[in-house]
Structure 1
Amino acid sequence: MAVYSGRPRARADSVLGRHALWPRGLPLGRALLVTGALLVFAAGATWLVQRDHRTESEIRLAARGQALAETVAQAACAETTFADAGRLARILASAARQGGLAAGAILDETGLVVAHTDPLRAGKAWLGPVPGDAEGGAAARARAELFDGRPGTVCLRPLLDARGAAGTVALLLPEPPRAFPGRGWLRTFLPAGLMVLAFLGLIQMTTRWALRPTAAFLERLAGTLDPPQAPAGALDRPRAPAAAPTASGEFCDELRERALRRARELQAAQEELIIRNRTLDYERRRTAAVLEQLPDGLILTDALDQIVLVNRAAGALLGLAHAGSASDSPELPPRLRELLAGVGRGGRLIHEAPAEQGTRPLLITHTPLAGPQERSAGSLYLLRDVTAQRAAQQAQAEFLSQISHELKSPLNTIVAYVEALADEQQLQPGERQEFYNTLSSEAQRMARLISNLLQLSRIQLGNLSARFAYVKTDTLVRGLAESVAAQAAARRQRLDVQVPENLPALYGDKDLVGVAITNLLGNAIKYTPEGGEIALRASADGGGVTVEVADNGIGIPAEDLERVFERFARSEQEEVRRQSGTGLGLALVREIAELHAGRVTVESETGQGSRFRLWLPGREAGERLDLGAAA
């Protein structure tokens, strides 16, 4: 436990015995007496100086007034008559400008105002004694009646002619400026000074009385400012003598140090708070930017189920003109709130939203947000356009239906012919071989179907192990033409093969390229009537090789050209439906072409035949595209 010295008591006593506002060694009562004496001395000196200054100013002003009145009187007496009042008014105006006159008037012997510095006063009678002196009641009467009681010194001077008194000159001179306060100020200053002295004495007594109950608090506060002494066991060591009790100034200095240290701590905390606020603002803006860029729609509600956020994708999916903070937006219709309310807690809903062409399905998923103590903090709604998924599901269903049909047809044929072969007694001599040929054809058809399906799925899933190498184009194309020549001959079709010997080498998988060209030739043979013509040409084209297969068969309608390379796509023509087929051959050709960074195009017209062009990159283009690494 820390042991404290007796310094806090001495420090508290110093606060009680000496006020911090007064210098050391100067008691408060003595200071009040000195201040009172100074105030009384200053008041007396001011009154004496003011009296002397006032007397001297009055003497100078009276002399100046008499001189000015004499000058005006002489100028007025130079006039033979009072009839020219304008001339007399100009004399007064000149005296006012040059002599510092406040106002002036000239009266005739009857007391009528002949001229006045105020033109409105001319022509009025004055009822006072005429003439009079500046020391009698006439001066006060003149100030009141001629000059409306304005402050200043009034000078009266009679006008004399040969007959005697002819009139009076009355002048009003302004009072001189006061260099010192007047008597009224002294009458106010002395009582105020005495009141200040009394108030200071009252403060001194009240302060001493009020500080007594706080001595204990000051002791504890001062004790917290003293560092603790050495722990027990070190008390026996010699210590430096305790410092003498210090005045309250040290106590205040130490408090000031602690206040400054606390202020620095608060400033550091404020700076840290500013940095954290900026960091939070940056994180908020970054989170908002991420939410805005989400491909899926997002709607956020608070604990009261009020919508607070709608991102850009949600606004586009729902056809809203507003996205962002949605708490006060008039663009959010009530139907949106009803739609969200219908999702249910933790559920999902398929909503048909309006689109440019009809509607589009939206999958709305609800996720509750948990706050502190497992309380609800709001809800999160995710919106996703499932048009592509619905189309994929529909395509998958169609695919399963078509593949089932394509597999069922040859299987039914095989089963029927196997049953017929089992009953040998019912067979004619030449039917056995015909049945065997049919079984072989249907089995090959099923094998081609399964092979095409496997190759398509491997290409689309990226699981096909293509072996890219340099392939001699002319040798490959001629070999493929020879492999289908027998089929064309069986239908009495003419197969025209034009393949130059100097074609650039292909860079690709020989087997896959062979499958693509074979499918094109097989389609041409199948959909060309007996006796028709089929042309197979190969040529160098733009760093690659173009293989062209043309026929004069039934052709493809214009409305079917866009989907001719889709899986299971077959025309509704009667001639096409009579031929067996899976609708996978041309789809496989397109996949193989894209796998080799090539392309396949078609030109066709109903009844005029079709022309397919397969472009594949040559050696230089294949090396540039690095197809082997891509595979």
Structure 2
Amino acid sequence: MSKSSKDSRTQSAPLGAASWVTNWAFARGESVVATAGMFITGMVAATVVGAGAWTYYTHRKTLTEAQQDALAQAAGSAAPGIGVALAHDDLTTAQSLMEQFARAQGLESATVTLPNGTVIADTRGKHDANLKLPEKWTGNEQVGTTSTYADDQFTARACVPVSGRGNAILDVTKAYTYQPLAHLRTQIGIGVTGAVVLSMGLVMYRRMRLRMRALGAIQESLRFASELEDGQLSASGLRLAEDLGSEALAWNRLLDERERQNHRTALESAAERLTAGVTAAGGGDYAAAFDGLWQGLIVLDDEGKVRVANGAAAVFLKRNKGEMTGKEIGALLRFSDVTTLAMNVATGKARQRASLEASDQMTPDAEKTVLRFTVRPMRREDGSAAMIVIEDVTQQRVADESRNGFVAQATHELRTPLTTMRLYLEQLVEDGDKDPLVKARCLNVLNSESRRLERIVSDMLSVSEIEAGTFKVRGDDVNIPELWSHLEEDFKAQAADKEITLSFETPPKWPLLKGDRDKIEMALHNLVGNAIKYTPEGGNVVVRASEENAVLMIEVSDNGIGIKPDELELVFEKFYRSKDKRIASITGSGIGLALARQVVRLHGGDITVKSQIDKGSTFMLTLPASASIGAAKLAA
């Protein structure tokens, strides 16, 4: 997208402050679901907090009312016994009964008073032990009990009936503080409920976000396209990042197809004008331009016979150009579907443009060619009835197959370390605490597989950066001995599993390199990993380092299956996999060597290979060195 396009977009559709913040904070297309996602998250959080607060309130209220009722019932139950003792003037028994009642209920205080306020009995000792009850008294016609709760304290009052004398009053108090942690099960229930609700909300948002990001980006692209003037619209400015998902991939394919369609339309229009010029002028500059087109062009009359054809069409169809004119198209094409389509358009049975693809392979050993035939009607006064445009799309299909193969291989490459990590994690959880050796082995494997997984993902990201033209290397000091040690440690177990003798030979002194340590290590990992991968059990792999004329040379030699001479350069192409049937069962993404050579060349070096079938291969990596210092010094 050009700067002018962006400026025009900004001027024609100014964004509000909220929209600007959303577009700045989220990736392209995410702003569409950001508001919904934040709203859902807020609603979930509010629901969890509200549920917790409501549960806390109702639980506390229920417990308080239950304690209050229980205290009132207990006071009502104790009052008759105390009244019997008072009826017999037995104040000592009444005091004893009240103290037992207070201990049993955990009361702070319990007091029995007469209606006039005289204290008859008190658990705090605030009564007259020598008090003589009057024969009869009046007042306190209360029936039943009452209770209240305030300031973390329960208060209950009960009527004490004293037979033949009147009613006394029993007042009790009890301290009570609500303890949330004392009801841990309820709190855990609240937390689990909140976590489940929040998790469901996050899962819903995640699914919506993954599905809507691409749709939002497509909507932005369409809005942007609607703001452009005719002639300014370019597919490159509307393309989406492929990591947005299948919708983005489909959108990009539509854009690519639109570009190809526009190109074909322009080509056909130009070819039509050229054809008219060729047939009218009988040759000259028009004929030269017609033959100079890289697409094949054939013009048919209404009987399906060739009126004119250019040189590219003759090459694609493997025919002599001079012999094509006047022949029926069916005699020139080996593809019955294309012949039928061309005849239908030429004779007027079909009036729409159509395209077909056909594979052309003369012999089993010959290389397969994929041709696209586009047939369109062109009714003209000179008798031209149809035009056939022939394009070689072999490389596009090979790229598609390579990309699909890469995805399949990459998926397998990722699944392998993940499966290993899962199995060892399960063993670590089950037996790690029982056996220190098992624990150490599991942790070692997990560390190794996580580093392997990191390298695979790093390779994939590096390929994407190379495709986008953003692949860069740093210029830091590289500690080669440390890198060498890591390399030997990483592949020791893998070589031992295949009973391969893996040896590392070091120079007397190491050169000092400047470069990107991680990417250099990645290149060496790919070379050594391939050597072990393609060497049969019991073989030998030697990694040898030396310095000559301020150049670090690292040879990775093996006695494995070797590489065919015609594939020595092809193995450095992205997504290429050797045709050797022996490697069909060996996993690989086809990007390792291409990535390794790219990295080394960006450092000013190169990777070359020598190989013989069934004898082995030697890959030579060279890097320019800035200085040489002793290995012992660097290792220290």
Range class of TM-score, shorter chain: 0.3 to 0.5
Scaled by the length of structure 2, what TM-score is found? 0.42
Q: Which has the larger radius of gyration?
A: 1
Scaled by the length of structure 1, what TM-score is found? 0.42
